[in-house]
Every structure is written in structure tokens, then in C-alpha cells.
């Protein structure tokens, strides 16, 4: 070991605290974490809303009524063919599968142009 020069062994310090202090510190940590999560959640929601508005504005100007009607019919036909429930809770569970299956259609993908608009069109025609 002398080839490596001087070294220092670290020592751990033991510190006793009361249960009240421990609980107060734990509560403060939890409060800080909840604030962080709440702020993250609000930022994510704002981003989603901004993207949704941008996509809706673009969608209304770029997608013709004929294309919207074709998309609507495709979504409704898929729901009928697969005997899916239109109850909001159940349709929310099936939504990722519905989007994945409908994305297999090149024509529907071309109408939407991008994944966010595709999802928006599907949701618009389901709810």
C-alpha cells in the first residue's frame, strides 16, 4: 500500500436525533417532493395543452372535411368491428390499442401527418 502514497480512512459520524425531529424532517421531505411533483405535473399539462391547441389550429387548416369524414368513419368502423364499448372509462383503457391499430393504415397516417395530430383525431372521433 505504500506505493499509493498517503491515504486517509473515512469515519462515519453517529448522530442521535429524537423521533419528533425525524418525523418533522420526513414530513418536510415529503412536502418538498409533493411540490416538485405538482410543479412537474402542471408543466406537463401546460405543454400538452399548448401542443394540443397548436395541433388543432394546424389540423383545422390543413385537413379537409372529406379527410376528416374518412378518418371519423375509419375510427367508428374499427370500434364496431372490434365490439368495443363507448363508455368513457373503457374506451380510455382501449385508446392506446385503438391508436396503435389505426396507425397501421398508411392513409390515416398521411391524413394526420404526425403522431400528436393522429392521437388528437382519434380522440376527437371517439369522445
What separation, in Å, do the N-terminal and C-terminal C-alpha atoms of the chain show? 72
Residues 113 and 77 in one domain: yes
Q: How confident is the model at residue 4 (pLDDT cuts 50, 70, 90)?
A: low
Q: Model-level pTM?
A: 0.50
> Looking at residue 34, what DSSP letter applies?
H
Other C-beta atoms within 10 Å of 102: how many? 20
pLDDT in tens, 90-102: 777 888 888 999 9
The answer to whether residue 118 is domain-embedded is yes
Residues 108 and 81 in one domain: yes
Residues 55 and 71 in one domain: no
Burial grade of 99 (CB within 10 A; 0-12, 13-18, 19 or more): middle
The answer to whether residue 5 is domain-embedded is no
Taking residues 28-51, report their average pLDDT.
76
3-state secondary structure of 2: helix
The answer to whether residue 10 is domain-embedded is no
pLDDT of residue 104: 93
The answer to whether residue 7 is domain-embedded is no
Residues 105 and 119 in one domain: yes
Residues 127 and 68 in one domain: yes
The more confidently predicted of residues 79 and 10 is 79
Residues 71 and 52 in one domain: no
H helix runs in 1-127, sequence order: 19-62, 65-81, 88-102, 106-112, 115-126
Domain interval for residue 50 = 18-62
With 60 as the cut, is the pLDDT of residue 10 above it?
yes
Amino acid at each position: 500500500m505504500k506505493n499509493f502514497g498517503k491515504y486517509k480512512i473515512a469515519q462515519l459520524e453517529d448522530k442521535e436525533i429524537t423521533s419528533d425531529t425525524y418525523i418533522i424532517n420526513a414530513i418536510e421531505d415529503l412536502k418538498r417532493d409533493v411540490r416538485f411533483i405538482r410543479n412537474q405535473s402542471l408543466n406537463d399539462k401546460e405543454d400538452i395543452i399548448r401542443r394540443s391547441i397548436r395541433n388543432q389550429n394546424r389540423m383545422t387548416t390543413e385537413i379537409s372535411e372529406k379527410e376528416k369524414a374518412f378518418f371519423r368513419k375509419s375510427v367508428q368502423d374499427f370500434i364496431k368491428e372490434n365490439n368495443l364499448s363507448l363508455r368513457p372509462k373503457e374506451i380510455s383503457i382501449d385508446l392506446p390499442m385503438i391508436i396503435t391499430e389505426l396507425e397501421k393504415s398508411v392513409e390515416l397516417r398521411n391524413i394526420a401527418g404526425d403522431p400528436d395530430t393522429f392521437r388528437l383525431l382519434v380522440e376527437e372521433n371517439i369522445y
